[in-house]
Structure 1
């Protein structure tokens, strides 16, 4: 299931070829060789860095590179413009494959907002087409390395994307920011549907808190099965979608089927020979987050948090799947009244 990588994974800053306005992956990737084996390679993408080239003839794009998502996107209610945003004009490019297999580049007019999500490198953008009335809000994430692009492409390949435990938010596209603007330096950016910090709305009940923890643990199990070490789990990168219900009410997260995500994979690595202590560090970081967020109001989690954060588990091969089993056992023993009770009780 997991992709095999060589040990010499090359983590290099992304550079822009200002002559062609395209990412130049070939030079840095020559030093590390092809990262994936052919038999395990997920579907090729026009942003594939493993090929050492920007385009290959008749290449398909599993991450949805294209203009459709902003020219003809389904009508839906976007997130309200955050009142902490300060906007400035900007522009970028979206790349898409045409019916004959060639590739085109189209200009995208965007507005960039100064967001409070600086630690996760996430920010809000308003994307518009040719018409001023064609606008929608999206979330953008600056991509910091070729390794990060490899991880995102792998997590958004069809075999991974439709797994309900996948903790990566679905990609709409990858766009190349205009290097001529004052605010941007030509870095590519991952574009997502609007997502928000997990604590943007209050967590009302014990059940909602447990659902959040359960989804994050399932996400870690998923990453470990794919031999992906996240490397930087903290509060600011935990995001949620709006769910299937538009009500802004913290007491109905479960009925709204809210999904939680890890929105920043800057430090993530796919490893060929997984070392348990690397996975244990991810587990410890999640345990520390759980303790800081719910430790005082969910004493039932104390043993699980201790198991996740105790340095002894670095040598005892404790995995996310083990902790998930413990949490499922705990939930089965909790009275229904406790699960439905308010979190501060």
Structure 2
């Protein structure tokens, strides 16, 4: 039996500062620690992530996160087999903090360095469940920055087969919450409000395209804005009526209907992708996959298709370093590693087909 492989992974692609120690034991991924320091308090007053503030916060919090992860795992740097980091996609200033630290640490302890794709790592988080997906698998990554359907021949061989052409699903949730003045981060707050609303009170739709499984959430977002604030008056046209009062009941109905619109948009694209890329497993990861309505839709689809569903554990849906370490360990076990000259990149390098 091969000895376990142990890796320290870092993640600083957006507004979570994360470090984790992960092991590969007899083909099974195991998280020994998971340290995540979020920046919600830094960005709340702006209603969204401010890139410069995010990178400065990473500079302050990365070393404490590394210390916490190593302490929780009860190992020393000498026991590591490699150091990994999410190297793309993301905010370039934020990425550089983690990438620079990972390279320096790998060089100083004389261990291999691996930079991995954050989008693909969201799907590898499914490998931390009791059972793991069969391949080929179809993956949905839905978060504040990404909404992709990914065809995976294996955990290391993947390509994007459908995606949003504008806003990510998580960004749409956050913007709708901002329009309703719910606070930040908006997605979970909108989901909470939606529980008390009528999801069929308003008919919101995501956009789709002829001959493509791609989707669009920008029009849905605009329709929601107009329903809340009223449609702008056009030049030389009669004034439009003011929107109804935004009562608590109306807010809940709007939230529930918007959530239904996003979920139905994801489902329509999923059905289109599945027609051309039927697989042995369905996987999903990313912050939006914490949403219970999204999870319910995926479970219903998997049941209808009679295919096993693998949902990332909720604690690994939002950005974390465990998923980074998981993907890096699978690469390391396959004999892969990267040169220290590998650069951080703002965009994913997953092939689009």
Structure with the higher helix share, 1 or 2? 2
Shorter-chain TM-score: what band? under 0.3
State the TM-score, normalized to the length of structure 2: 0.24
Name which structure has the greater RCO, CA cutoff 8 Å, separation 6+.
Answer: 2
What is the TM-score of this pair, normalised by structure 1? 0.25
